[in-house]
Chain A
C-alpha cells in the first residue's frame, strides 16, 4: 500500500466540513458564545438572571404549555384517525387518508390568520354571528389565547402522528394480531395488549416531531398571541431583537432563549433516535395479508361524518375564509357579491411593489436555496456514505447539527455571523436569507440524498470500475443517474417549504427583501387584513400548484423506472 496522501476524498471531506462549519456550526457557536460569555469570560449566573425576568419566564412557561398541549392533542387526534383509516371498515378510507394529509400542505400561519378572522373575540365572524343569533353579551370563542394557539397548531401538526402511525399500522405484520386472535383474544384486548404497544415507537416518534415543531414555530403564536401579550420562545426572540432596537442585553436574552431551543430540540431528537433504534420493535414483514378490520357497524356513518366535518372545519373553512376575505373591498364588509372584487389580486400580483417583490423574492430565494442546498447535501452525503477516510466522524457530528436547529435560532445565528463581525455584512440583503435557508434546509437535503446513496450498493460502482470506467466516469454514469430521484426529491423538499417560510425570514428581512410569509405577516400586523388574506390566497394557489407539480414529476419518475 502506498502511503496515504492528500487525495480527492480528503479534499471533499475538508470541503464538506468547511461548508457545515461556516453555514451551521459557527452561527450556533456564536449563539452560545453570546449567551454565556461576557467580556471574554464565561458567566452563567448573569445568563440565568436574564431568564428569571418575568416576561422571559412567562414565554418559557407558555412554550411548555403550548408544546405540551399541542403534542398531546395531536397525538390523540393523529392516532385516532390513523386507526380509523387503517384498522376499520370506514367508508371511503382511501380518500379520507389523503384528506387527512392535506393540512401538511397548508402553512399554519395562514391557518392562524383565517382563524383570527373567524374567531377573534370581538371581530371574529363566527363570534359575531353567534352573539347576534343567541343575543349574547360576550363572544363565545377566543382563539387569541393559549388554548386557541394549541388548537390551531394541532390542526396543522397532527398529520405528523397520523402519517407515522398509519404507515406503521399498514406495514405491521398482520399475523402478529392474528396470532393473538387465535390465542383467544378479542379485538379490544388485541388493540390494548398487542397493537398499541407495537405502535408505541411510531406514536412517540410522531409526537416528538410535533413537540419539536410546536416549540419552534413562529407563525401561529405570533399571529394569535403577540397582540394579547402571549409570547413563546420564538416570538419572544423576535420581540427582543426588534422591539428593543437591537441593544446588547436584548440580543443576549435572544441568544439565551435560542440556546434553550437548541438544547430542547437536541434532547427531543436524541429521544427520538432512542425510540426508533429500539430493535425489539421490528414488526415489519414481507408476507402481507389483509390486516384484520374492525367492523364499525352502526358507528360507520357517524364516524365518517365526524371525519368529514373535521376536515371541513380545519381545512375547507379556513381556506374558504382566506379566499373570501381576499376579495372584500374593505375589511368588515359583509360577504355579499357587491362587496367583492378581484382587483385585490391584480393589485397584489402586478401593481403593488411590496407584494410583487415579496413573491419574486420568495421564488428566487427558494429556487437558489433548494438548488444549492441539494448540491451541497449530495456532496456531504457522498462523503458520509461512500468514502472510508479518517476524520469522517467530525463530518458525521456536524451533519447531525442542522436537524436540531430551529428556524429562529438559525436566523439569530446568521445575524450574529454575517452582520460585519467577520468583515462581511449581509444584513438587510437577500444574501443573509439565502445563507440562513441553506442552514435551515440542509437537514432535508442530507436526509434524502444519503437515503438515495445508501440504496446504491458499492458493488454497482465497483462493477463499473471493473469494466474499465474511471472513478469519475463511474460516478457520472452509474451513481449519479441512480441517485437523481433522491436529488430531485431533496430539491422539492426544500423548495416548497422555503416558498412559504416565515419563521426564519421574519427575523432577517430588510425593506426590499420581504418574503411571501413576511409580507402576509406584516400586512396583517399593519391591519391590512384584506391584502394579507389576498396574498395568502395567492400563496395557497402557488403551494397547491407546486404540490401537483411534484406529484407529476415523481410519478413520471416511477413510471419511467
Chain B
C-alpha cells in the first residue's frame, strides 16, 4: 500500500517557515497535485517527501513505514525510498545515452543484465522512446528529454511518483499532450502521483484531488470540482480561475455595494457563509448575466471579442468587473448602461 501520510510537518529555512503544520493523506493510486503560487511551500513539501530535506517537526509515512520523523531524527535517505521523480529541468544526464539514462536506476539496484535490458526496453516503449534509445540527450527536444526523465522514473516500477513542475519547461501544446501521457502511464502502471505545479489549469486537468497552499499554510484540499465550485477562501477563489470581487454592505436586510449604494441592492440573497454586515462578493466572469433593466446598474466600458467568448468590462460604482458571454451575445455597446445579475456568487468575510 502506498498511502502517503504527512502529520504535523513543519519546515523552516532560517527565519522563514516554508511549510507550517501540514497534515495530509495522499491515497494509494491517486493523482494528487500540490498547487500554489511560487514560494508557497509546495516544492519544499515534495522535497521532504523525496528525502532531500529534513523535517523540523512532524512525520512522513508511506503505508505503515516511517520515512521521515523529526522526533526520532530518522530520515530514510532518498536513494532508499524507491520513488520515481521527475524534475522541472529534466535532469537527464548529458554524458549517458537514452538507454543508459533509463537503465541507471536498474543498474544501481544490481539487477542482472537480462532484467535491465527487459525493464529498460519496457520503460522506453511505454514512453515512445525505443527508436531513439541510442541517441544522446543533447540531440533531443525538450519534450523528448522529459520523456527520458519519465522513463527513468518508471523503470523501477515505483509505487509513488514525484513530479516537480515537470511540464513548465515545455511549450503549451506539448504540455497538454504530456499531461495525457502521464495520466495514461498512471492508469496502466498504477502508481501514486504527487504533482507540483503553479498552473491551476494543469492541476485541474490531471488531479483526482489537489491542495492549494499559500505561504506554507494549507488552504484547501479536495477534488478539482470542489475546489473550483466551493473555494474555501477568497485567496483560493482568486487563485483558481478568473474572479470578480465586490465589497458589500448589508442594510435593512438587503446587500449594497460599498461606496456605491446608488447602483442598487443585490437581487440574490446574500450567501449563508458570511456573518458580519460587511462582506466580499466573489463571482466568476461566466456566472454573471447582463440585462437591460434591473440588476446592479453599471456601464459597459469595453467589449473585447475573444473568439469563443466576448468579454465585457463593466464599471459598477468605483469597481470594474469582467463578464464573459458567448461570442454571439453582443447586445451591449460600449458606453451603454447595463444591469448585472449574479447567477452564482459566493461570499467571504472582508479581508
Given the complex, which residues of B lie within 8 Å of A197, measured CB to CB?
95
Report the minimum CB–CB distance from A267 to chain B (whole Å).
Answer: 25
In the complex, whether B191 has a CB less than 8 A from a CB of chain A is no
* B94 x A198 contact (CB < 8 A): yes
A176 on interface, CB distance cutoff 8 Å: yes
What 1/0 mask marks residues of chain A from 171 to 198 whose CB sits below 8 Å from any chain B CB? 0010110111111111001000110011
Question: Given A282-B94, A287-B89, A182–B108 Cβ distance below 8 Å?
Answer: no
Bound CA–CA A283/B91 (angstroms) = 9
In the assembled complex, the Cα of A198 lies from the Cα of B95 at a distance in Å of 7
Closest to B94 in A: A280
Given the known inter-chain contacts A182-B81, A184-B156, please indicate yes or no for A279 contacting B138, CB distance below 8 A. Answer: yes
Nearest to A283 among chain B residues (CB) is: B94
* B80-94 interface code vs A (CB 8 A; 1 in, 0 out): 111111011101111
Q: Is A54 an interface residue (CB 8 A)?
A: no
A181→B88 contact, CB < 8 A: no
Q: Contact at B78–A182, with CB atoms within 8 Å?
A: yes
Which A residues are in CB contact (< 8 Å) with B50?
178, 182
A171 → chain B closest CB, angstroms? 13
Q: What residues of B have a CB within 8 angstroms of the CB of A181 in the complex?
A: 52, 77-79
Closest B residue, CB atoms, query A190: B79
Q: How far is the CB of B156 from chain A (nearest CB, A)?
A: 7
Interface status of A301 (Cβ within 8 A of chain B): no
Residues in A whose Cβ lies below 8 Å from that of B94 = 198, 280-283
| Pairwise interchain contact A182-B136, C-beta atoms closer than 8 A | no
Closest B residue by C-beta to A278: B138
Of chain A, the residue at the smallest CB distance from B89 is A285
A286 contacts partner chain B, Cβ-Cβ < 8 Å: yes
> Is there contact, CB below 8 Å, between B89 and A280?
no
Q: Which of A184, A280, A283 contacts B79 (CB 8 A)?
A: A184
User: Is A175 touching B78 in the complex (CB atoms < 8 A)?
Assistant: no
Contacting pair B91 A173 (CB below 8 A): yes
> A-facing mask of B118-158, CB < 8 A → 1, else 0?
00000000000000000011100000000001001000100
Using CB atoms, name the residue of chain B closest to A279.
Answer: B138
- Checking A184, A186, A200, A287 against B109 with a beta-carbon cut-off of 8 angstroms, the contacting residue is A184
- Number of A residues near B (Cβ < 8 Å) is 26
Give complex CA distance A42, B257 in Å.
99
B167 to chain A, nearest CB (A): 14
> Assuming the A-B contacts A183-B79, A280-B138, are A175 and B91 also in contact, with contact meaning beta carbons closer than 8 angstroms in the complex?
yes
Instruction: Report B-chain residues with C-beta under 8 Å of the C-beta of A180.
Output: 93, 104
A184-B108, A184-B109 known; A176-B79 Cβ under 8 A = no
Instruction: Mark contacts of A61-102 with chain B using CB atoms, 8 A cut-off: 1 yes-contact digit, 0 otherwise.
Output: 000000000000000000000000000000000000000000
A173 to B145, CA, bound (A): 15
Q: For chain A, what secondary structure do more than half of its interface residues adopt (helix, strand, loop), or is it mixed?
A: helix
B216 located at the interface, meaning its Cβ lies under 8 Å from any Cβ of chain A in the complex: no
Contact B93 A183 (CB under 8 A): no
In the complex, B231 has a CB within 8 A of chain A: no
The smallest C-beta distance from B164 to any residue of chain A, in angstroms, reads: 8
Asked if B93 contacts A287 (CB within 8 A), the reply is no
In Å, the complex CA distance between A153 and B257 comes to: 81
Bound: A198/B93 CA distance, A: 8
Cβ of B84 to closest chain A Cβ, rounded Å:
7
Known contacts: A176-B91, A182-B50, A283-B94. The answer to whether A189 contacts B138 by CB under 8 A is: no
Q: Is the CB of A179 within 8 A of B108?
A: no
User: Considering only CB atoms, which chain A residue lies closest to B139 in the complex?
Assistant: A280
Residues of chain B from 274 to 318 with CB closer than 8 A to chain A in the complex: none
CA distance A200 to B85 in the complex (A): 26
Partner of B84, one of A182, A185, A189, A280: A182
Contacts of B93 in A (CB 8 A): 176, 179-180, 194, 198
Partner of B149, one of A173, A179, A184, A286: A179
In Å, the complex CA distance between A176 and B145 comes to 13
Interface contact B156-A182, CB-CB below 8 Å = no
In the complex, which of the residues B105, B136, B162 contacts A184, with contact meaning CB atoms closer than 8 Å?
B105
Question: How many residues of chain B are within 8 Å of chain A by beta carbon?
Answer: 30
Find out whether the CB atom of A178 lies under 8 angstroms from the CB atom of B52.
Answer: yes
Interface string of B233-256 (1 = CB under 8 A from A): 000000000000000000000000
Question: CA–CA, A287 to B104, complex, Å?
Answer: 24
**Is B88's CB under 8 angstroms from A287's CB?**
yes
Asked whether B95 lies within 8 Å of A178 as measured between CB atoms, the reply is no
Q: Is the CB of B79 within 8 A of A175?
A: no
Q: Is the Cβ of A185 less than 8 Å from the Cβ of B95?
A: no
- Listed residue (A189, A197, A200, A280) with the most chain B CB atoms within 10 angstroms of its CB: A280
**Complex: how many Å from CA A120 to CA B92?**
53
Contact A178 B78 (CB under 8 A): yes
Cα A287 to Cα B91 in complex, Å, equals: 11
Most chain B Cβ neighbours within 10 Å, of A178, A184, A194: A184
**Distance of B256 from chain A, by nearest CB (Å):** 48
Inter-chain contact B104/A178, CB cutoff 8 Å: no
In the bound complex, how far is the Cα of B109 from the Cα of A183, in angstroms? 9
Contacts of B81 in A (CB 8 A): 182
Q: Is the CB of A183 within 8 A of B87?
A: no
Give the contacts of B94-112 with A (CB-CB under 8 A).
94-95, 104-105, 108-109
Residue from the set B95, B108, B152 with the largest chain A CB neighbour count within 10 Å: B95
Residues of A within 8 A of B156 (CB): 183-184
Q: How far is the CB of A330 from chain B (nearest CB, A)?
A: 59
Query: A280 — which chain B residues lie within 8 A by C-beta?
Result: 94-95, 136-138
Chain B residues near A189 (CB-CB < 8 A): 108
- How far is A31 from B110 in the complex, measured between Cα atoms in Å? 60
| Distance (whole angstroms) from the CB of A296 to the closest CB of chain B | 17
Are B78 and A179 in touch, CB under 8 angstroms? no
Contacting residues, chain A, for B138 (C-beta < 8 A): 279-280, 282
Min distance, Cβ A71 to any Cβ of chain B, angstroms: 23
Question: Which residues of the other chain, B, contact A279 by a CB distance below 8 angstroms?
Answer: 138
A244 to B230, CA, bound (A): 96
Chain A 443-464, CB-CB to B under 8 Å as 1, else 0, gives: 0000000000000000000000
Shortest beta-carbon distance, B195 to chain A, in Å? Answer: 16
Which of A176, A186, A279 has most chain B Cβ within 10 Å? A176
CA distance A200 to B95 in the complex (A): 10
Q: Are B91 and A178 in contact (CB under 8 A)?
A: yes
Closest to A181 in B: B78
Bound: A182/B84 CA distance, A:
7
Q: Give A276-300 as 1s and 0s: 1 = Cβ < 8 Å from B's Cβ atoms.
A: 0001111101110000000000000
In the bound complex, residues from chain B placing their C-beta under 8 Å from that of A178 are 50, 52, 78, 85, 87, 91
What residues on B are CB-neighbors of A184 within 8 Å?
79-80, 82, 105, 108-109, 156
CA distance A188 to B5 in the complex (A): 31
Bound CA–CA A27/B89 (angstroms): 50
> Residue on A with the closest CB to B86?
A179
Closest Cβ of chain B: how far from A336's Cβ, in Å? 53
Asked if B91 contacts A183 (CB within 8 A), the reply is: no
CA distance A282 to B92 in the complex (A): 11
Contact assessment for B87 and A179 in the assembled complex, using a CB-CB cutoff below 8 Å: yes
Establish whether residues A185 and B85, one from each chain, have CB atoms under 8 Å apart when the complex forms.
no
Closest to B88 in A: A287
* Bound CA–CA A186/B79 (angstroms): 7
Q: Contacts of B162 on A, CB cut-off 8 Å?
A: 182
When C-beta atoms are compared, the residue in chain A nearest to B52 turns out to be A178
CB distance from A134 to the nearest CB of B (A): 50
Contact indicator B95/A281 (Cβ below 8 Å): yes
Contact of B89 among A173, A193, A281 (CB under 8 A): A173
Instruction: Please name the residue on chain B nearest to A185 by beta carbon.
Output: B108
**Which residues of B56-95 are within 8 A (CB) of A?**
77-85, 87-89, 91-95
Q: List 23 A-B contacts (CB under 8 A).
A: A175-B87, A176-B93, A178-B78, A178-B91, A179-B91, A179-B152, A180-B104, A181-B77, A181-B78, A182-B50, A182-B79, A182-B83, A183-B156, A184-B156, A185-B79, A185-B104, A185-B108, A186-B79, A280-B137, A281-B95, A282-B94, A286-B89, A287-B88
Q: What 10 A-B pairs come out closest when comparing CB atoms?
A: A183-B105, A280-B138, A175-B91, A179-B91, A175-B87, A184-B108, A182-B85, A280-B94, A285-B89, A197-B95
Query: Can you add 8 more A-B contacts, CB < 8 Å, to A176-B91, A179-B87?
Result: A178-B78, A178-B87, A182-B162, A183-B79, A184-B108, A186-B79, A197-B95, A281-B95
